[in-house]
Homo-oligomer: A and B are copies of this chain.
Amino acid sequence: MTITEIARLANVSKSSVSLVLNNKPGVSDKTRAKVLGIIKKYRYRPNQIAQSLAGGETKSIGLIIKEIDNPYFGRLMRGVYDACSKLGYTVLLGSSEQSTDKEAEIIRTMLSKRVDGLIISPIQNEDADYSYLVDLTKDAFPLVILGSIPNFPTNSVDIDNFAAAFDATSHLIRLGHKSITHFAGPSGHGLKRLEGFRAAMQEAGLPLQKHSIVPVQPYTPNGYQAGKELFAQSPGSPTAVFCYNDLVAIGLMNALLDLGIDVPGRVSIMGFDDIDIAEHLRVPLSTVRMPSYEIGTSAADLLISRLAEGSTPRIERITLAYTLIERRSVARMTSPVLSGAVV
């Protein structure tokens, strides 16, 4: 079934069919009704590929994340998807798997598929030059970044990671913890959170020691490994650790439990993200809630609103709110001497 076919069956021209297809004025009610009848009868649906070639827009956007199976991105993807489908857009999925080359290649592929816009959670290495992103913005291609890249003006959606980490650390300090370690994540969000941690420690006059900051890959096994190493020798080990994300926190929790170290009795754990299972762990996890669903919907809404506007060079940076979630993995510090006493 093609538009030509429909036109023939309805005894009208292609243009008339096109007009009713796109709900445009310029056709008599009679013609419209007739065409609509034929369309319904034959369950005709225009070929979107042809529409795109002729009309210019594909009604699809590309979403490029770092890992498909990752609870954080899962919720985020759902946000993007929900907002897009509500607005009639299809999403093409891309996953960079932490590889800059893949990210660049995915972008090229999506451009050749003529997506109307792109939402990207960019890989942030020390040596990433973001040249492909720069190219995009140079051409004024509709783009929304998830997170933020220093000195790179684009539409973006993020939370204030510095403030969130600062608050989370301060919370631990307020509870009496003095020896706190940060399991630090990769550049990008990881760096911001590390800075927030540092700032909070400094403000409280708490010195950073040798093991105050340990860099960790953002996955459960790495958190486990780092936990095992850090707590292998008890003396000098911290009473609280603030983790880059929940996945790391889960690993750490298991390491501690395997080591026979009580959580939160002996050490408190603070996560980040509040992924769905955080509250269902062996010890329900205190964490910072990332509004990942909202990040997704905001990004999609922002992108699509830009498309509607045409190529307005206006850029918008959206900062969403985070929330400190108190569950059981963080406890008030009890001095070893008074251990067991009511606090």
Contact = CB atoms under 8 A, between A and B. Distances in A.
Interface string A276-291: 1100111100000000
Interface stretch (A88-96, A156-164, A232-240, A304-312): A88-96
Interface string A54-72: 0000101001000111110
A73 to B, nearest CB: 8
Contacts of A254: 280
Nearest to A220: B280
A71 B50 CA distance: 37
Interface in A101-139: 106, 108-114
A78 interface: yes
Number of copies: 2
A153 interface: no
Contact of A60 (B71, B95, B113): B113
B81 A112 contact: no
A55 to B, nearest CB: 10
A77 interface: yes
A42 to B, nearest CB: 13
A254 B280 CA distance: 7
Given A74-B74, A277-B277, A113 B95 contact: no
A70 B60 contact: no
Interface in A235-262: 250, 253-254
Interface string A185-196: 000000000000
A45 B111 contact: yes
Give the size category of A's interface with B: 35 or more
A50 to B, nearest CB: 6
A49 interface: yes
Contacts of A277: 250, 277, 280-281
A282 B85 CA distance: 37
A75 interface: yes
Nearest to A280: B250
A264 B289 CA distance: 31
Contacts of A250: 277, 280
A48 interface: yes
A98 interface: no
B53 A50 contact: yes
Given A45-B108, A52-B49, A69 B60 contact: no
A112 B293 CA distance: 28
A47 interface: yes
Contacts of A75: 69
Given A91-B92, A93-B81, A112 B68 contact: no
A313 interface: no
A48 B281 contact: no
Nearest to A97: B82
A17 to B, nearest CB: 15
A207 interface: no
A46 interface: yes
A53 B114 CA distance: 13
A138 to B, nearest CB: 13
Q: When A and B form their complex, which 5 residue pairs have the shortest distance between CB atoms, in order from nearest?
A: A69-B74, A282-B282, A68-B78, A277-B277, A69-B78
7 contacts: A45-B111, A47-B53, A47-B114, A69-B74, A71-B71, A90-B93, A90-B113
